[in-house]
Amino acid sequence: MLYKTLSAAVYGIDANIIEVEVDISSIKTPEDHFHTVGLPDAAVRESRDRVRAALRNCGYDIPPSQITINLAPADIRKEGSGFDLPMALAIVGAYGGLSKKEVPDCLFVGELSLDGGVRGVRGALPIAIEARGKKILRLVVPELNAKEAAMVEGVEVYPVRSLIDVIHFVNSGNGILPLKVDSDRLLGDSQKFLVDFKDVRGQQTAKRALEVACAGGHNILMIGPPGSGKTMLAKRMPTILPPFTFEEALETTKIHSVAGVLDAGVGLVGVRPFRSPHHTISDAGLIGGGAVPRPGEVSLAHNGVLFLDELPEFPRNVLEVMRQPLEDGTVCIARAAMSLTFPARFMLAAAMNPCPCGYFNDRSRECHCTQPIIQRYMSKISGPLMDRIDIHIDVPAVNYKEMRSSAVPESSAAIRERVIRAREVQLRRFSASREKLYCNAQMAPRHLRAFCELSADCERLLERAMTQQGLTARAHDRILKLARTIADLEGAAGIEPKHIAEAIQYRTLDRTFWA
């Protein structure tokens, strides 16, 4: 007898609807022959043992027979354990254990434990999005994944705990109600931070640079001795970034769901992510990869901040692979059988010491590094990568008076208000553009000509800086973007010489180390 159920396979950060076809032969065999076809991976092939044990422990004794399971379409690779539940359900249906001959309006996904329990899986959110796109009205998922799937409007999400629950649901409905969540309230409740810029004493120049970076979405590099507060500053960047829109939150949650790092108790990434990988990370860990490619750290930081501490300690080949996501906002991973593209539009925040010992140009500690040693240390970061970092800022050690000052530093909330106003100015400016631009850092050269007109005084100031510091054409564009952001923070309609002068100050490290 033949029985069919619907499931889904996650492919990159998207899902494809899969039809699970189960055929049970009437030929009696001394052994149970259980075959799965349709490009299954090892986890899918192993499901036969989980399914058989789960059915037996739920009271369904399967006689020895020929069981063939086809996962259609057969040209899409299937991976993961989420097909356990639809397979087991279709086997019960093929043996006549279900009251309905088919359930075409319901999609099932879940991993089975040996006692028949339903465990969570990866990618419930993209599966729910795909189900809505294919007009599938009901989605049965593990209770652990129900909250994230319920974020998608237009699909009824039914949380289940066991295979018996699913069988009763198909036969009689058994009282399982669809889960309802208030996505707006959940997004608002998640906008809470445990850190604040008012905790940071001194470092006014660095705080100003971070405000400019967040207002325009610019990448930033902080250079200073150990203990000067570079990491402390970077961790507070998400607190001054504009809050998530629901679309951004859903897109970010989708990536975290596929990667398996989503907090199931929350179900939604409500604050901009802050990812800080260790410098021993591989290029596949940073960019993404694997036999079936999964998102890396640059994609997990999508719509948020990627912080690279001790930047020269990262292997050069790892840093160089970031050029594409820094320029395009996407990562393309090609394999022999597939090519996947992951979103990776993030703000890069990096920190480093000025020399191997960390005390070059420090006022209180003596540096013992020679000039060749410093040059070798700095040369670990290529010029092209440095050109893609808009702001280079010096972060000196905080002196005692600043540290013990009774003055209350400005809070993240106050800085955030200015950042939001500047972003709103940029959104209004780009609203007539055909491309989707959200901040000044995303402007292409053609946008610079349209939105960054310079007066004669600004032209002379910029020309002198380019000539004296030997800046590249990419650095020229970065300065214009920074000047536009600084003007937006002040509410100025046009770029003025003081805006150009401040923007140039954020590129002075080009002359110091890389000229």
**For residue 390, which phi and psi values (nearest 5 degrees)?**
-70, -40
| Burial (0-12, 13-18, 19+ Cβ within 10 Å), 43 | middle
Q: Give the separation between CA 149 and CA 124, rounded to whole angstroms.
A: 6
How is domain 2-172 classified at the architecture level of CATH? Answer: 2-Layer Sandwich (3.30)
Fold of the domain built from segment(s) 215-410 = Rossmann fold (3.40.50)
Residue-wise pLDDT tens for the chain (515 aa)? 789 999 999 988 999 999 999 998 876 655 567 889 998 888 888 898 899 999 999 998 877 788 999 999 988 888 888 999 999 999 999 988 898 888 888 999 999 999 999 999 999 999 999 999 999 989 999 999 999 999 999 999 999 999 999 999 998 877 788 998 888 787 877 778 889 999 988 889 999 999 999 999 999 999 999 988 999 999 999 999 999 988 999 999 999 999 989 987 788 898 999 999 999 999 989 998 877 788 999 999 999 999 999 999 999 889 988 988 988 889 998 876 678 899 999 999 999 998 998 888 887 788 888 889 988 888 888 888 887 899 999 998 888 888 888 788 899 999 999 999 999 999 999 887 777 788 999 888 888 888 998 999 999 999 998 888 877 787 888 899 999 999 999 999 899 999 999 999 887 666 544 44
Report the distance separating Cα 453 and Cα 215, nearest Å. Answer: 20
pLDDT value of residue 65? 82
Closest CA to 123 of 333, 294, 323, 313: 294
φ/ψ of residue 303, rounded to 5: 70, 15
* Residue-level pLDDT at 28: 62
DSSP annotation string for 28-73: --SS-EEEEESSB-HHHHTHHHHHHHHHHHTT--PPS-EEEEEEES
At 509 the pLDDT is 63
Reply yes or no: is the peptide bond before residue 73 cis, omega within 30 of 0: yes
- Judge whether 382 and 319 are in contact, CB under 8 Å: yes
Which string of b and e fits 409-424 if b means at least 16 CB within 10 Å? bbebeebbebbbebbe
Predicted local confidence at residue 420, as pLDDT = 95
Q: Do domains 2-172 and 215-410 have the same CATH topology?
A: no
Q: Count the neighbouring beta carbons within 10 Å of the beta carbon of residue 88.
A: 29
Cβ count within 10 A of residue 77: 18
Query: Quick one: pLDDT at residue 359?
Result: 85
> Each residue of 441-466: b (16+ CB within 10 Å) or e?
bbbeeebbeebbebeeebeebbeebb
pTM (global) more than 0.85? yes
Domain boundaries, the chain: 2-172, 215-410
- What spatial distance separates the first Cα and last Cα of the chain, rounded to whole Å? 75
Res 513: pLDDT: 46
What was the pLDDT predicted at 66?
87
